[in-house]
Amino acid sequence: MTAADVVGADVAGADLAAALRAAVGDHGLVTDPDATAGYARDMMPLAPHGRPYAVVLPTTTEQVQACVRACAAARVPIVPRGAGTGLTGAANAVDGCVVLVTTRMDRIIELDPDNRLAVVEPGVINQRLKTAAAAHGLYYPPDPSSLETCTLGGNLATNAGGLCCGKYGVTGDYVLGLEAVLADGSLLRTGRRTVKGVAGYDLTRLLVGSEGTLGVITRATLALRPLPAAPGTVVAAFDSVAKAGASVNRVVRAGLVPSLMEIMDATSLRASSAHLGTDLAGADDQALLLCQTDAAGSVGEAELDRLEKLFRQSGAVWTHATRDAAEGALLLRARRVSLTALEAQGACMTEDVAVPRTRIAELIEGCAQIGDTAGLTVAVVGHAGDGNMHPTVLYDRHDDREQARARTAFDAILDLALSLGGTITGEHGVGKLKQDWLEREIGPVGLRVHRAVKAALDPAGLFNPGGMLRPAGDPDRP
């Protein structure tokens, strides 16, 4: 680079900074490298990240449009970001980019009980919408484990799921329409407010799960459901993973659809028990199933009884059922804190794979074998109701060789999931971590179509470059 190039870059940077400041004001622009570093990556230590040139925190759609136009004029990449709770590096910065943070766009614009919908901005926290809907006797079902901190914009970008997906589905199942800023700064409106609507291509579904690679979501119209009854809870412990897996199959074959059905292996169960100071885990327990039913009245009582009976028939070592909501919440907390409990034991690489429900036991047992081969511990928790499992590799972050073995184990788990007829991600997304695995899963034709869609909506490739798809001809591609 010549001296003239350096001067030119400085001038261009000054022009961009001025344009961004004009868009969001002094309080909405961060350029101090020490401060921007806090926005450079999400919670996955394995995913690559760069150093952002600037961070912008818009408060309106118009400000987002102005920022996107400024970046387009300067040909500077822009990476949308929510609360940073992701686990695949989907919102990780690339060198010299502008990170656009949507957390200040946090209004619940409308909550319409008669049409059972809400209109929200992307910075609204998931739990806040749940609470607001409940005040009207309504329910927003998607509930990632980070529901108290994650934003709906991040949920939309990754098509997040959570613990209740087996019965209620994922984020995309509740999106009626969106507003999104495209690469040229124009505003795209998709979908509708009606229950039914099939006019044109389903652009709403296209944007949900696109991880900021096609546009910046600035508003969403979300469907709500009637608030269900307080759940009843049943837990069952098994002396083998195989018995727990067989129990899941029996629940499905019986036609039961619990509002929640979670599985924990022995490692995660003991970690959560120690973290909470409980004696939930018995000495011989190898797996725990935790189910809830939110059916009302006698129907709920009957379903709870049937679940407990099925678990006993499947060889449960012990079972416990309760209709007390507070006790049920305490039992469920053991599952919700599992990652925190495991992180207390060391660094974690948390996977997100999904397999057919009939293959859950094989996945868990295979993960244990992968851990043995790598000389590391692999703990598994997951949503047994839909087969979405979260194997977590524990390693010493200060040991480079152990970190390399952890990455090898991480990849082996992805390979195992695909071999069992599964997918490389059930809810966390592809991010900047699994691009090669996405190509393997969708194949060359699927990859070509993905690239064509990306090129049509973002011809300059400035939205979240390297997110989900590697650029064609990437020299760093292994």
Q: Indicate if the pLDDT at residue 6 is higher than 70.
A: no
H or E, element range at 270: helix 266-276
Q: Report the distance separating Cα 403 and Cα 252, nearest Å.
A: 38
What's residue 345's pLDDT? Answer: 86
As to burial, measured by CB atoms within 10 angstroms (0-12 exposed, 13-18 middle, 19+ buried), residue 200 is exposed
What's residue 170's pLDDT? Answer: 96
Q: How confident is the model at residue 410 (pLDDT cuts 50, 70, 90)?
A: very high
Q: How confident is the model at residue 2 (pLDDT cuts 50, 70, 90)?
A: very low
Q: Which residue has the tokens 């309760």?
A: 322
What's residue 470's pLDDT? Answer: 85
pLDDT in tens, 372-388: 999 999 999 999 999 99
Task: Name the token pair of 243.
Answer: 């018995």
Indicate the average pLDDT of the chain: 93
What's residue 45's pLDDT? Answer: 80
Sign of the torsion formed by the C-alpha atoms of 22, 24, 27 and 28:
negative
What's residue 96's pLDDT? Answer: 96
As to burial, measured by CB atoms within 10 angstroms (0-12 exposed, 13-18 middle, 19+ buried), residue 167 is middle
What's residue 106's pLDDT? Answer: 98
E strand spans, 276-415: 287-293, 318-322, 347-350, 353-354, 377-383, 388-395
Q: Report the distance separating Cα 75 and Cα 71, nearest Å.
A: 6
What strands lie across the sheet with 187-191, from one edge to the other?
108-112, 117-120, 216-223, 175-181, 187-191
Q: Indicate if the pLDDT at residue 282 is higher than 80.
A: no
Task: Name the token pair of 350.
Answer: 């948390």
Q: Indicate if the pLDDT at residue 105 is higher than 80.
A: yes
Give the residue-averaged pLDDT of 311-316: 95
Cβ(67)–Cβ(25) under 8 Å? no
Cβ(49)–Cβ(80) under 8 Å? no
The phi-psi region of residue 351 (left if phi > 0; otherwise alpha if psi is between -120 and 50; otherwise beta) is beta
Find the radius of gyration of the CA atoms of the chain. Answer: 23
What's residue 283's pLDDT? Answer: 77
Between 1 and 428, the higher pLDDT residue:
428
Percent with pLDDT over 70 in the chain: 96
What's residue 416's pLDDT? Answer: 98
Q: How confident is the model at residue 266 (pLDDT cuts 50, 70, 90)?
A: very high
The residues, ordered by sequence, that sit 6+ positions from 403 with a Cβ below 8 Å of its Cβ are 347, 395, 396, 397
Cβ(76)–Cβ(196) under 8 Å? no
Give the residue-averaged pLDDT of 40-45: 90
Q: Report the distance separating Cα 321 and Cα 229, nearest Å.
A: 16
Q: How confident is the model at residue 462 (pLDDT cuts 50, 70, 90)?
A: very high
Cβ(160)–Cβ(41) under 8 Å? no
Q: Indicate if the pLDDT at residue 439 is higher than 80.
A: yes
pLDDT in tens, 339-380: 889 988 888 888 899 999 999 999 999 999 999 999 999 999
End-to-end distance of the chain based on CA atoms, in angstroms? 28
The residues, ordered by sequence, that sit 6+ positions from 64 with a Cβ below 8 Å of its Cβ are 58, 100, 102, 105, 181, 216, 218
Between 47 and 189, the higher pLDDT residue:
189
Give the residue-averaged pLDDT of 425-441: 95
What's residue 351's pLDDT? Answer: 87
Between 279 and 83, the higher pLDDT residue:
83
Q: Indicate if the pLDDT at residue 445 is higher than 90.
A: yes
CB neighbours (10 Å) of residue 345?
A: 14
What's residue 474's pLDDT? Answer: 61
What's residue 473's pLDDT? Answer: 63
Tell me which amino acid residue 253 is.
R
Give the residue-averaged pLDDT of 451-478: 84
Q: How confident is the model at residue 12 (pLDDT cuts 50, 70, 90)?
A: low
pLDDT in tens, 194-248: 999 999 999 999 999 999 999 999 999 999 999 999 999 999 999 999 999 999 9
